[in-house]
């Protein structure tokens, strides 16, 4: 069958832009090296022309230098052409990369658009509004509950402005008295009222030892167990 129809030729894939750019860059580097070698030869011929006298020898050196200069110009033209080709390939590569990026972006946007449409089917604006209204009602009920629980018991509500000012004046007077006493509260200050016992002429309290009239000053009278003067035993016998 291969003899009749022939075998299928396996063609190589076409080179990519990067492969072509690399190949041209290598050629450009090779041409650049040749230009540098020709520059070195021209410098050498220039020194020889300066050292030789005008004549046939100098003319021969100039002819060789002219031939080298022509080669240099040719290589420089090739180098410039290769650089232009590389520049064109770079532009095409940048454009291709930009198209690939745009394609990926479009694919991502389509996928995101499909996901958003699916999500929007499950979310409705009316449901969100109803949820917000329910939350507002719940917050109002919670505030009413807090206000109800925070009420005080047995607190008079008939206090007017005059009562308030009177209470504040009394409080200010008490604080003024405390300030005059070097910051000591009134209930801690010493008692300044006169002692009523000082105005009365009261006898001193008993000391537990009494001295009878007519007793000898140097002898203390005996006392019983209750602190009273003891009765002599002779009087008890009589």
**Distance separating the N- and C-terminal Cα atoms of the chain:** 180
Residue 112 has pLDDT above 90, yes or no: yes
Output DSSP code: residue 197: G
Q: Answer whether residue 187 is part of any domain.
A: no
When divided into structural domains, the chain yields a total of: 1
Among 224, 187, 194, residue whose Cα is nearest residue 208? 224
Cα angle 139, 141, 146 (rounded to 5 degrees) comes to 95
Among 93, 71, 76, 91, residue whose Cα is nearest residue 28? 76
| CA 100 from centre of chain | 39
Q: Answer whether residue 148 is part of any domain.
A: no
- Tens digits of residue pLDDT in 219-228: 556 677 776 7
Residue 207 has pLDDT above 80, yes or no: no
Q: Answer whether residue 150 is part of any domain.
A: no
Q: Answer whether residue 65 is part of any domain.
A: yes
The more confident residue out of 153 and 109 is 109
Q: Answer whether residue 73 is part of any domain.
A: yes
Global pTM reads 0.40
CA–CA separation, 72 and 39 (whole Å): 8
Among 95, 47, 45, residue whose Cα is nearest residue 68? 45
Please compute the mean of the pLDDT values over residues 193-222 and round it to a whole number.
54
Q: Sign of torsion, CA 132 138 139 140?
A: positive
Range of the domain at 91: 17-122
Q: Answer whether residue 63 is part of any domain.
A: yes
**Amino acid 9: pLDDT:** 61
Residue 31 has a CB neighbour count (10 Å cut-off) of 20
Q: Answer whether residue 142 is part of any domain.
A: no
Give the C-alpha distances (Å, rounded to integers) separating 187 from 183, 191, 233: 12, 9, 59
The more confident residue out of 229 and 139 is 139
- Using DSSP, state whether 7 is helix, strand or coil: coil
Residue 180 has pLDDT above 80, yes or no: no
Q: Answer whether residue 44 is part of any domain.
A: yes
Please compute the mean of the pLDDT values over residues 103-108 and round it to a whole number.
94
189 and 199 Cβ atoms separated by less than 8 Å: no
């Amino acid at each position: 069958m291969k003899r009749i129809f022939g075998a299928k030729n396996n063609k190589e894939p076409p080179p990519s832009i990067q492969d072509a750019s690399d190949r041209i860059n290598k050629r450009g580097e090779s041409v650049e090296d040749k230009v540098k070698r020709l520059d070195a030869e021209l410098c050498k011929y220039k020194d020889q022309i300066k050292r030789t006298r005008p004549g046939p020898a100098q003319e021969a050196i100039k002819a060789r230098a002219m031939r080298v200069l022509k080669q240099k110009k040719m290589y420089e033209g090739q180098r410039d052409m290769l650089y232009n080709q590389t520049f064109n390939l770079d532009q095409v590569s940048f454009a291709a990369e930009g198209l690939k990026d745009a394609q990926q972006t479009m694919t991502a946007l389509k996928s995101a658009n499909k996901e958003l449409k699916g999500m929007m089917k499950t979310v409705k604006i009316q449901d969100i509004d109803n949820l917000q209204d329910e939350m507002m009602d719940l917050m109002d009920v919670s505030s009413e509950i807090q206000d109800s629980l925070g009420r005080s018991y047995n607190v008079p509500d008939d206090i007017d402005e005059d009562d308030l000012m009177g209470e504040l004046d009394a409080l200010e007077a008490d604080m003024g008295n405390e300030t005059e006493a070097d910051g000591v509260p009134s209930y801690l200050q010493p008692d300044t009222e006169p002692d009523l016992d000082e105005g009365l002429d009261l006898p001193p309290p008993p000391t537990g030892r009494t001295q009878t009239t007519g007793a000898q000053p140097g002898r203390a009278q005996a006392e019983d167990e209750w602190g009273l003067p003891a009765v002599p035993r002779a009087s008890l016998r009589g």
